[in-house]
Amino acid sequence: MPEAIGVAQRRLEGGDKVSGRTAYVADVRVPNALHAELVSSPYAHARVVSIDRTAAEAMPGVVAVLTADEIGSLGLLAKGEVFYAGQPVAVVVADDRRLAADAAQVVRVRYERLPAVVDPVAALREDAPAVLPAELRSQRADAGAHGADAAQHAASQRANVCGEAHFARGDVEQGLRLADVVVEARYRIPALYQGYLEPHGTVAVPEGDRLTVYTTTQGQFAVREEVCQATGLPEHRVKVVGMQVGGGFGAKFVKLEPLCAALALRLRQPVRLVLSRSGDFLTSRPGNFAEIGVRLGARRDGTLTALAADLLLDAGAQEDGTVGIAAMLIGSTYRVPHLLVDGYEVLTHKTPSGAYRAPGAPQAYYALESAMDELARKLGQDPFELRLRSACQQGDPRANGAPWPRIGLVETLEAARNHPFWRERSRQADEGYGVAAGGWPGGTEPAAAACRINGDGSITVQVGSVDITGTNTVFAQMAAQVFGVRADAVAVSAADTDAAPYSGSSGGSKITFTVGNAVLQAAQDARQQVLEMAAQELEASASDLDMAEGRVFVRGAPSRAVSVADLARSTTAFGGSAAPLVGRGRVAIKRASPGFAVHVARVRVDRRTGEVQPIGYLAVQDVGRALNPMAVAGQIRGGVSQSLGRALGEAMRWGDSGQLLTGSFLDYAVPRAADVPPIEVELVEVPAEEGPFGAKGVGEPPAVPGAAAIANAVADATGVRVRDLPLRPETVLAALAGETS
């Protein structure tokens, strides 16, 4: 019987993607479609005094110029007041894309500039002016869609605090007094653009009393819910078609869809809204800026005595939910008797923050793992030794006191320590190695799936999840394993919200874990139906039957067999006597599958230029069970590459008055292929109790430890610690020259 699980399988959709045949939302062609263009505020904070649309409306081909006064804010449009530079204040709709862009240029908006609160530290102060009026507080937050454990929240009196997390255990001051060595440091991590290839885009098509929305999203059901909330339509009258996604990384939940839907309904015509790259930058939902202070104490032998951490995350001009995740993780990774974590998230007049692959975790672990490295250096201890002494295991308390389920942090640390990349390390001049761990709590959400046996015996799996990482390929492998066939004998239909069973959004490292369980259940259900049909045919008990390569046979007597195709044909024939074969899976898994990764970076630092060159990399990760090792390794390499950008070059910057200064790939430097060193991947398999075949979420952990691993390697190479990311040459050079960062 062919094994389908644990076998490297090329991604089902990969061929179309690399050969340019994949249709993305910008490729959707709908007859009579209108084109929408946004008119954006150049000011970070201003009152909209007037909007003169006469010149735009007079242009032939312009159908409408609309503002929040007519169609509402729809999560995007300013209504009377703008809160970030780039916030749309009006939308022009015309019968041609270029015409819409030209018309948007002649919409005259008069603004009264208001003072902008740009610096998150200033925004936190008790006397800071409120960034948002009270009626705009408590909106949706993308990081919440990741489903990570909620933090303990407390209401703050400060005007701009929009999220808090506080965790305490023991007496942290006492714990620090018990320490022989204390590391005290502050770390800053900039806001980051997710850097996906495909900018946001949506096409909305009204048809009778229904609306169809084609969009690039990680979660089509989430889009449907918000479109319905915005338009008042019931969910069965809105169909969302989640297109192939050209990269999301947390940025693509819901953005343009409510606006585009409202325009289509109002104008009774299809409307297309596809952003340019600069439009995408201006309205992006970047990963949060964070400033994290750490005090970490240990005894001479490396036993941790206390950890105090204060976190400040910048939410931009909309409430976010990331600080809870960051605070939870920073206080949950190592056993420490005295713990105090205080996290705040503040509003500022900047583009609202969103989710970026493991929201909050790279920030938390950059601080925690840099501090652990500083501690190891002060103690003169091996970095693995120090971590293994206190690394959390099953049953150890998390920051909120709840015990960890079975996790693989210790196994992952040990695998990294024993790997030849570390064990046989050799250092030339100005080279160094850095170690860092990181984790992600994982997410859960109810999910359903169907598995149909077609008339010819082939298998179709139906799901409603959006495949951003190769999950459909894994679903095919799961069904193939159940039926004893090769994965290419299974088709996976990722249907729209009309046709597909429910699935949560592809975020939080949960699709294989949740939808995968539903697929497994559905395939097993369909298999049982086939076996019961065969039992009648073969005059045997179903429990005595087995199935492989399209045949059902009596165990021990393989010549007594019937083909699945013959059985299935009778379920789809005119006058046929058997009911169609349709398996059903529905799950609501309650416990997430936390995943940990340990990275080791090797860098070379050019002392004349400050340039940091990664020259080798090891990524070790507990994946529970690698259902498709090729896809898992690909995920890990992608996460490492993003971490290199985070560590060495990427940063969203704003000027003092809230102007975005990095609005294109000219000024926002993502790593290119030549910047990425060879990456060795080692998989650790500590099975997740509730995961399909033991699998756990693998998407987010590889994006977590990288920045700290690189910074620790730079410290190892130079003896100099740079605590503010990114480690650009000028920063490193200044640090080498003795100026502290």
Partner 1 sequence: MEISGSAGVKAPPAAVSQVLADPARLQRSLPGCRQLEPDGNGYRIEISIGVAAVRGTYQGTIEVLRHEPGRQFDFRLMLEAPRGFVEATVATRLDESAQGTELRYTAESELGGPLAALGQRVAAGVATMLVRQFCDGLGREAQGLLQG
**Cα separation, 197 vs 514, whole angstroms:** 27
Q: CA Rg, the chain, in Å?
A: 27
* Cβ nearer to partner 1, comparing 4 with 104: 104
Longest dimension (CA), the chain: 86
Strand partners, 553: 546, 561
Q: By C-beta, is 57 or 680 nearer to partner 1?
A: 57
Nearest Cα residue to 80 out of 3, 28, 157, 132: 132
Q: What is the DSSP string of 129-181?
A: PPSS-GGG-S---GGGGG-PPPPPP---SSTTEEEEEEEEES-HHHHHHT-SE
CA angle 75, 81, 83 (to 5 degrees): 65
Using the minimum distance from each CB to partner 1, give the nearer residue, 663 or 694: 663
Minimum CB separation of residue 35 from partner 1 in Å reads 17
Rounded to the nearest whole angstrom, what is the least distance from the CB of residue 40 to partner 1 in the complex?
A: 7
| Residue 430 near residue 496, CB atoms below 8 Å | no
**Least CB distance from residue 627 to partner 1, whole Å?**
42
For 230, the 3-state DSSP assignment is helix
State in angstroms the smallest separation of the CB of 595 from partner 1.
36
In the complex with partner 1, the residue whose CB is nearer, 190 or 206, is 190
CA distance 103 to 94: 8
Look-up of token digits 């060159």: 613
Partnered with residue 29 across adjacent β-strands are: none
CB of 36 to partner 1, least distance (A): 16
CB of 585 closer than 8 Å to CB of 451: yes
Name beta bridge partners: 167.
341
CA–CA separation, 545 and 557 (whole Å): 10
Kindly tell me which of 278 and 393 has the beta carbon lying closer to partner 1.
278
Residue 614 main-chain phi, psi, to 5 deg: -70, 130
Q: How far is the CB of 316 from partner 1 (least distance, A)?
A: 15
The residue among 193 and 617 lying less far from partner 1, judged by its C-beta, is: 193
To partner 1, the closest distance from the beta carbon of 51 in angstroms equals 13
Q: 3-state class of 82 per DSSP?
A: strand
Nearer to partner 1 among residue 40 and residue 216 (C-beta): 40
Give the nearer residue to partner 1 in terms of CB position, either 456 or 667: 667
What contacts 564, CB < 8 A, 6 or more positions away? 453, 457, 483, 530, 547, 550, 551, 552
Binding site for partner 1 (CB under 8 A): 39-43, 85-86, 104-107, 278, 281-282, 655, 657, 659-664, 666-667
* CB nearer to partner 1: pick between 106 and 240: 106
Structure tokens at 424: 């046989």
CB 354 within 8 A of CB 320: yes
Smallest distance from partner 1 to CB 81, Å: 16
Q: Nearer to partner 1 by C-beta: 111 or 693?
A: 111
Other CB atoms within 10 A of residue 591 CB: 11
Name the token pair of 614: 């990664």
Shortest separation between residue 26's beta carbon and partner 1, angstroms: 20
C-beta neighbour count of 336 within 10 angstroms: 25
Give min distance, CB of 664 to partner 1, in A: 5
> Which is closer to partner 1, CB of 17 or CB of 277?
277
Which helix (H) or strand (E) covers residue 546, if one does? strand 545-548
Task: Please state the closest distance from residue 666 (CB atom) to partner 1, in A.
Answer: 6
We find the least distance from the C-beta atom of residue 66 to partner 1, in angstroms, to be: 17
Considering the complex, state which of residue 40 and residue 509 has its C-beta at the smaller distance from partner 1: 40
**Smallest distance, Å, CB 58 to partner 1?**
16
Q: Cα(162)–Cα(347) distance, rounded to whole angstroms?
A: 7
We find the least distance from the C-beta atom of residue 351 to partner 1, in angstroms, to be 11
Task: Name which of 351 and 571 has its Cβ closer to partner 1.
Answer: 351
**Burial per residue of 337-373, b for 16 or more beta-carbon CB atoms within 10 angstroms, e otherwise:** bbbbbbbbbbbbbbbbbbbbbbbbbbbbbbbbbbbbb
Asked if residue 193 lies in contact with residue 224, where contact means CB atoms within 8 angstroms, the answer is no
Q: In terms of CB distance, is 44 or 554 closer to partner 1?
A: 44
Which one, 39 or 65, has the nearer CB to partner 1? 39
Smaller CB separation from partner 1, 1 or 661 = 661
Residues 91 and 36: beta-carbon distance below 8 Å: yes
Helix ranges (DSSP H) in 380-470: 383-390, 409-418, 420-423
Tokens representing 232 are 């008042």
- Tell which residue, 288, 215, 216, has the closest CA to residue 248: 216
To the nearest whole angstrom, how small is the minimum distance from the Cβ of residue 281 to partner 1?
6
Closest CA to 684 of 597, 599, 592, 594: 597
* Closest to partner 1 by CB, 393 or 659: 659
Structure tokens at 120: 């998150």
Helix (H) / strand (E) element for 641: namely helix 629-648
Task: Tell me the closest approach of the beta carbon of residue 107 to partner 1, in angstroms.
Answer: 8
- Going by C-alpha positions, the residue among 59, 117, 56, 58 that lies closest to residue 67 is 56
CB atoms under 10 Å from CB of 14, counted, come to 14
Nearest residue to 478 (alpha-carbon basis) of 509, 540, 521, 428 = 521
User: Among candidates 603, 621, 620, which has minimal Cα distance to 612?
Assistant: 603
Give the shortest CB-83-to-partner 1 separation in angstroms.
15
